[in-house]
């Protein structure tokens, strides 16, 4: 089950939009029932409430799962958009010799609805999955950061170790690149640079599948 990843401001904005939609839809249905169908006021009010509530619940479900990913709608709701497949490089101090960092190709598969967020990472030797996620936007600088806590599992034969860590990536203004740092409990740390490949991440659950999505 995914965790909710809304800030208080985003949740309040969502409630406000839902409230306005419920009120306007209810008034329109009430007027139609009362004026055109000559329903009594109590009957028209009940039908308006029940019909508008059903319509708004349906619209809410469509919006949170899919429609808000339209870039203009996401911008109007002031919700950063990170959904998709991202490709880039991980630079780590693990096994570094003479200051030379280890450079590894990496993919991030980020699945986002308006309410939830999840992150998977794939390299040839490790798979990662987020346990906590947050999209934080500074009210002073308008900078958006993707923060997450993750677990890494080695995928080659005979390995059973799990590594925990945290990362923080800055989202570019065009929402097409992510750059930042990460830390693990091994202990290691490094940098991650990613660029968006596609918004479609359906059915991607491995390094090779992510690579084929390019």
Instruction: Name the pTM for this structure.
Output: 0.83
What mean pLDDT is reported for the chain?
A: 88
Please report, rounded to a whole number, the percentage of residues in the chain having pLDDT higher than 70.
Answer: 91
Domain map of the chain by residue range? 8-65, 84-212
Determine the Cα–Cα distance for residues 18 and 13; give it in Å rounded to an integer. Answer: 9
Give pLDDT tens digits for 104-144.
999 999 999 888 899 999 999 889 999 999 998 887 888 99
Average pLDDT (94-101) is: 71
Burial of 95 (0-12, 13-18, 19+ CB in 10 A): exposed
Say if CB 53 and CB 22 are below 8 A apart.
yes
Determine the Cα–Cα distance for residues 67 and 88; give it in Å rounded to an integer. Answer: 28
Give pLDDT tens digits for 182-213.
999 988 899 999 999 999 998 999 999 999 98
How many angstroms from the chain centroid is the CA of residue 193?
18
Please report, rounded to a whole number, the percentage of residues in the chain having pLDDT higher than 90.
Answer: 57
**Cα-flanking dihedrals φ and ψ of residue 141, to 5°?**
-110, -10
Q: Give the architecture (CATH level 2) of 84-212.
A: Beta Barrel (2.40)
In the chain, which residue ranges form alpha helices assigned H by DSSP?
A: 8-31, 41-65, 71-76, 207-212
72: pLDDT strictly greater than 80: no
Q: Under 8 Å CB-to-CB from 195, ≥6 apart: which residues?
A: 86, 87, 88, 176, 177, 178
Q: Under 8 Å CB-to-CB from 103, ≥6 apart: which residues?
A: 89, 90, 91
pLDDT given for residue 160 in this prediction: 63
What percent of the residues of the chain are helix, what percent strand, and what percent coil, each to the nearest 5? 30, 40, 30
């Amino acid at each position: 089950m995914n965790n909710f990843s809304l800030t208080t401001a985003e949740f309040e904005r969502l409630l406000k939009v839902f409230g306005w939609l419920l009120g306007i839809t209810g008034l329109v249905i009430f007027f139609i029932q009362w004026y055109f169908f000559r329903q009594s006021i109590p009957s028209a009010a009940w039908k308006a409430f029940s019909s508008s509530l059903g319509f708004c619940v349906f619209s809410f479900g469509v919006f949170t799962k899919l429609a808000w990913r339209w870039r203009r709608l996401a911008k109007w709701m002031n919700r950063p958009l990170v959904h998709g497949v991202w490709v880039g490089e991980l630079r780590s101090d693990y096994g570094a010799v003479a200051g030379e960092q280890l450079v590894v190709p990496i993919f991030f598969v980020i699945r986002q609805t308006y309410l939830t967020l999840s992150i998977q990472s794939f390299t040839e030797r490790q798979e990662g999955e987020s346990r906590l996620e947050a999209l934080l936007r500074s009210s002073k600088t308008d900078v958006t950061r993707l923060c997450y806590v993750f677990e890494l599992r080695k995928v080659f034969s005979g390995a059973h170790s799990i590594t925990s860590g945290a990362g923080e990536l800055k989202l570019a203004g065009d929402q097409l690149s992510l750059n930042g740092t990460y830390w693990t409990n091994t202990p290691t740390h490094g940098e991650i640079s990613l660029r968006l490949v596609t918004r479609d991440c359906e059915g991607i659950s491995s390094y090779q599948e992510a690579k084929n999505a390019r």
